Amino acid sequence: MADETPTPTPQRFFHACLLILGGIVALSLALELLAQFWGWLVLIAGIALVIWAAVVGVRHWREHRW
């Protein structure tokens, strides 16, 4: 067995704080990036929804016409 000493609690706490800070920075950057493109994403989702509704409507119309 290896003689590894456990990591001291303050050092573990410091590493945990650094990980949390890194997560906050990454989340902040992701939100900033999303803020630039959210309008386009909503537009694309709206167009996809209209196309899907048209396909469903045409299928329904073809199945139920006389």
pLDDT, tens only, 41-55: 999 999 999 999 999
pTM above 0.75, yes or no: no
Torsion on CA atoms 16, 19, 24, 28, rounded to nearest 10: 180
Our CA dihedral for 46, 52, 54, 57, rounded to 10 degrees, sits at: -130
Reduced to 3 states, what is the DSSP secondary structure of residue 53? helix
Tokens (6 digits) for 50? 């209209």
Tens of pLDDT, residues 9-58: 889 999 999 999 999 999 999 999 989 988 999 999 999 999 999 999 99
How many CB atoms sit inside 10 A of residue 14's CB? 11
